């Protein structure tokens, strides 16, 4: 297996992109990544996308996007793992370069979610849940995460204020990210008093419906050292795991077992411990999701995610900065693009290019991207080479 590096990243401004199509936002992000990498060809491409068929009526994305990017006839494949589609696509690109099958691989993530009604978007997202046991009985993802939040609060004493503090922190970070959908700061009171979605979660506890794309260029580490004009970022490890889709089948609905399993493999492959990680981008689709994620990843003791957040441990400048990009909560959550955008943020941080949201002396970063209520999870660890 060859060592693999990220030599190019590309983002666009996320939000409600009414005047742009799925193919145009993908191409824009991909061209930004190609320009950042300084490469003159692409050998292969993977595209993370959860549900383009339901959101925009378009399947067969590999060929479509390779054509519009102008790189046909290269191999181009869409990868789907619900909200973890972007992370899974990046993993496939990593494997292809590491195996020696290709030298220059483009990994993109894209979703165009606002071309359908709110009900249409809710339906599309619900396909990541268990259709027979959850969706048929009327449970939505806000409802599922609300149950997880309530159980966490009852078992560990997590407070409503601590949940809200996750959103406050991530909006603070997002206010410094030019690509973020929401660039405004919010308060704990605003979160708690906003429109109730599924008790105890209000609308400001929930990630938004977003249009967006992100892209990254992978190549062998030895090639990156020869051609890159920027700090080289190595992919130290890539891992994935799964769990039951329906949360009632799990031993503990407050624990993200697939995240713990994927992280354990990633740490072992990278030869690092949670304490070695300088920053992490985690899947905060709801505020409780970030609290559960940092516990499963080993950054805080089980049940202490809320108190650690309230104490400022996860803020920029804290012990372990979480979601300096603003996370899904503020940066936005175009589901198929999220995992690749996490990679873009970690690479930006490790290069020292994050500006106001820069994590000081960042050398090792982690991404955690999950599908549904963490029925699938992908973890990557990256390091300045």
Q: What are phi and psi of 246, to 5 degrees?
A: -75, 125
What was the pLDDT predicted at 318? 98
Query: Which one is catalytic: 83, 219, 344, 374?
Result: 83
108/240 same-domain check: no
- DSSP-derived pairing of the beta strands 211-220 and 105-112: antiparallel
Residue ending a domain, choose from 170, 196, 227: 227
167/312 same-domain check: yes
Given a contact cutoff of 8 angstroms between Cβ atoms, the answer to whether 195 and 203 are in contact is: yes
8/146 same-domain check: no
What was the pLDDT predicted at 332? 98
250/307 same-domain check: yes
Residue ending a domain, choose from 175, 195, 227: 227
- State the CATH number of the domain containing residue 175: 3.40.47.10
Q: pLDDT tens digits for 325-337? A: 999 999 999 999 9
For residue 293, the enclosing domain spans 122-206+236-384
Given a contact cutoff of 8 angstroms between Cβ atoms, the answer to whether 370 and 376 are in contact is: yes
**333 assigned to active site:** yes
Percentage above 90 pLDDT, the chain: 100
* pTM higher than the cut 0.85: yes
Query: Which one is catalytic: 333, 344, 374, 380?
Result: 333
Q: pLDDT tens digits for 76-96? A: 999 999 999 999 999 999 999
152/58 same-domain check: no
Pairwise CA distance, residues 3 & 221, whole Å: 5
Q: pLDDT tens digits for 157-189? A: 999 999 999 999 999 999 999 999 999 999 999
What was the pLDDT predicted at 267? 98
97/137 same-domain check: no
200/213 same-domain check: no
- Compute the average pLDDT of residues 255-279: 98
45/27 same-domain check: yes
Total tally of structural domains belonging to the chain: 2
Residue ending a domain, choose from 227, 260, 277: 227
78/182 same-domain check: no
Residue 321 confidence class, pLDDT cut points 50, 70, 90: very high
127/183 same-domain check: yes
**b or e along 304-328 (b: 16 or more beta carbons within 10 Å of the residue's beta carbon)?**
bbbbbbbeebbbbeeebbbbbbbbb
- Compute the average pLDDT of residues 51-74: 98
196/244 same-domain check: yes
141/43 same-domain check: no
């Amino acid at each position: 297996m060859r060592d693999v590096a990220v030599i190019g990243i590309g983002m666009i401004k996320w939000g409600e992109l009414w005047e742009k199509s799925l193919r145009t936002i993908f191409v824009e992000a991909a061209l930004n990544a190609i320009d950042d990498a300084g490469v003159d060809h692409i050998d292969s491409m993977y595209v993370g996308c959860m549900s383009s068929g339901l959101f925009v009526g378009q399947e067969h994305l590999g060929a479509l996007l390779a054509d519009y990017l102008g790189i046909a006839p290269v191999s181009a494949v869409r990868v789907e793992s619900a909200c973890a589609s972007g992370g899974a696509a990046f993993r496939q690109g990593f494997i292809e370069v590491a195996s020696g099958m290709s030298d220059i691989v483009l990994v993109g993530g894209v979703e165009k979610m606002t071309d359908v009604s709110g009900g249409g978007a809710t339906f599309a997202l619900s396909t990541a849940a268990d259709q027979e046991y959850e969706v048929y009985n009327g449970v939505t993802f806000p409802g599922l995460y609300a149950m997880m939040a309530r159980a966490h609060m009852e078992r560990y004493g997590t407070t409503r204020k601590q949940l809200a503090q996750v959103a406050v922190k991530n909006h603070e970070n997002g206010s410094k990210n030019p690509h973020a959908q929401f660039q405004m700061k919010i308060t704990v009171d605003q979160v708690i008093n906003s429109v109730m979605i599924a008790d105890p979660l209000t609308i400001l506890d929930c990630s938004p419906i977003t249009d967006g794309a992100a892209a990254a260029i992978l190549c062998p580490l030895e090639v990156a050292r020869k051609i890159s004009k920027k700090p080289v970022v190595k992919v130290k490890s890539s891992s994935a795991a799964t769990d039951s889709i329906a949360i009632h089948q799990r031993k503990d609905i407050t624990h993200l077992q697939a995240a713990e399993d994927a992280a354990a493999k990633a740490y072992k492959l990278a030869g690092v411990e949670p304490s070695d990680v300088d920053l992490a981008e985690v899947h905060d689709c709801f505020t409780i999701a970030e609290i559960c994620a940092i516990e499963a990843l080993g950054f805080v003791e089980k049940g202490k995610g809320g108190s650690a957040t309230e104490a400022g441990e996860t803020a920029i400048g804290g012990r372990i900065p979480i979601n300096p990009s603003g996370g899904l909560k503020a940066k936005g959550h175009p589901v198929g693009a999220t995992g690749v955008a996490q990679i873009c943020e970690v690479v930006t941080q490790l290069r020292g290019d994050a500006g106001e949201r820069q994590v000081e002396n960042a050398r090792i970063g982690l991404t955690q991207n999950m599908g549904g209520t963490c029925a699938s999870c992908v973890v990557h660890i990256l390091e300045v080479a």
